[in-house]
Chains A and B, each alone.
Chain A
Amino acid sequence: MRQPTTAGSTPVNEIDRLVVRFPDPRRRCWDHTLGLAIDERDGQKSVSVVTTMPERTRLAMSLAVLCDTRVLQVHDGDLLVNGRAMRPENYLDLWQPHLKSPIEACDLPARGVRLRARVQLRLSKARERTHVWSQYRIGSLAQLEAEFERCVRVNEDFWCFEADLCDPALVEDSAELLSALLGIVHGHDRSDNIDAAAWCSVEASLVTAPSPTSMGTNEVQEVRQARAFEHWTEMELFA
């Protein structure tokens, strides 16, 4: 259990929360959901991806995921909700309606949030990677590259991928894209065979309103990155 907040350090204040759904209208894979929390600390706003990965090939937001992370922070007083301390059970009640009625990714910019999927693979190993499900439609990086050519960038050492998940042009493809990325990048990795240079992340950032000086482009205020996978931590005392 975490230690209670010590005097002097400012607790984080959660001011809003969102659940984003990436539906697959073509029924080629499963839907993905992602939880986002908008926090404030010392007057600075930031957004966090609160979903950790219960499975290595799927983004799935649930109350169970929250219990292991932010609910314990609320319980320890490290996380306030709209400036107030809250009981963990009441905090979970706040998320329930968002889980029941998730929003679409293309609605996020109107809420001031941008989501990006990013991937980096060492070039020497990238071409060997295949999807963990042998029958998956996008089964290799070559096929992924063919489908989403505009998002791929290759340099001397790395195969890189970057896509704006809020892009309306990606609405119908985003679920399949995420399934392909996660399945190819992490599907075959086991704890004894991790390619340290391989990662797939979904990053959330807050955007401010366009300012006259920024020529109408959105200015990224703060970026919080959450790696899409965290390796299971063994229980240190009993395992």
Chain B
Amino acid sequence: MSYRIEYQYATLRFEHPDGRDRYIVAIEGGDNNLYEHNSSRRVRDWGVGMLGTEHQVIAQAVRFGAGCDGGELRPGNRDCTPQAYIRRIRKQLAATPDPYATWQPNVVCSNASPLLQQAREMGLEITPERDDIWGRPRSRIVISNEQRHLVFDFLDRHPSLGRAPWSLASVGGLTPS
């Protein structure tokens, strides 16, 4: 059975205009059975693992940490319990934010998503995505860096977005392992 390995974690903090700090937990991870071309090194990349308020991030850690119980998720390629995973993420939130890390909005959603309607009402630009998931077309909501707090506003309004936070933002400036 394949599983996901998480190699490194980094935290980014964002001062939201509403006064409540928001966090992005960036995770470098990859599948256990995918290797780089001509190498024995497993493929891995940085992405958004969780984001939102502390409460939202821990709720996402609870959901994703469930995978540790069945061995589908192995931080550091080691066995881990869901509770140890949640503790790891809680510790990560308290860690000093990575000064070189950056993040940008990267909101991609299904065309059936109510998020698109909200984006239209807000006058945001929507562009179709070339790829789709299981034959379902998707669109990208274009958000400028000045408006990036909207990512968290979307999450507040549609809590189920927390099931796939990597579809809301992307990270950069982080050192690969």
Contact = CB atoms under 8 A, between A and B. Distances in A.
A-B interaction: yes
A88 B58 contact: yes
Most A CB within 10 A of own CB, among B62, B81, B113: B62
Contacts of A236: 113-114, 160
Interface string B136-177: 100000000000000000000011111110010000000000
Interface string B82-114: 111011001000000000000000000110011
A235 interface: yes
B66 A67 contact: yes
Nearest to A3: B159
Given A89-B83, A236-B160, A237-B113, A64 B58 contact: no
B5 interface: no
Given A64-B69, A64-B70, A68-B66, A237 B158 contact: yes
Interface residues on A, range: 20 to 34
Contact of A62 (B62, B70, B134, B136): B70
A169 to B, nearest CB: 34
Interface in A43-78: 62-65, 67-68, 71-72, 75-76
B75 interface: no
A75 to B, nearest CB: 6
Given A92-B83, A236-B160, A238-B109, A75 B58 contact: yes
A75 B65 contact: no
A192 interface: no
A64 B83 contact: no
A65 B66 CA distance: 7
Interface in A212-234: none
B110 A63 contact: no
A89 B58 CA distance: 10
Nearest to A74: B62
B130 interface: no
A88 B82 CA distance: 10
Interface in B50-84: 55-56, 58-59, 62-63, 65-67, 69-70, 81-84
A75 B160 contact: no
A62 B55 CA distance: 24
Most B CB within 10 A of own CB, among A72, A75, A89, A96: A89
A7 interface: no
A235 B62 contact: no
Contacts of A88: 58, 62, 83, 86
Nearest to B90: A89
Nearest to B87: A89
Contacts of B84: 89
A88 B58 CA distance: 9
Given A75-B58, A93-B83, A235 B160 contact: yes
A62 B160 CA distance: 23
A234 B56 CA distance: 20
B150 to A, nearest CB: 15
A146 interface: no
A1 interface: yes
Contacts of B82: 63-64, 67, 71, 89, 92
A72 B113 CA distance: 24
Interface of B: 55-56, 58-59, 62-63, 65-67, 69-70, 81-84, 86-87, 90, 109-110, 113-115, 133-134, 136, 158-164, 167
Given A67-B63, A237-B158, 11 more contacts: A1-B55, A1-B162, A63-B82, A67-B66, A72-B59, A89-B84, A92-B83, A92-B86, A237-B115, A238-B109, A238-B110
16 contacts: A1-B56, A1-B159, A63-B81, A63-B82, A64-B67, A64-B69, A75-B58, A235-B163, A235-B164, A237-B109, A237-B114, A237-B158, A237-B160, A238-B163, A238-B164, A239-B136
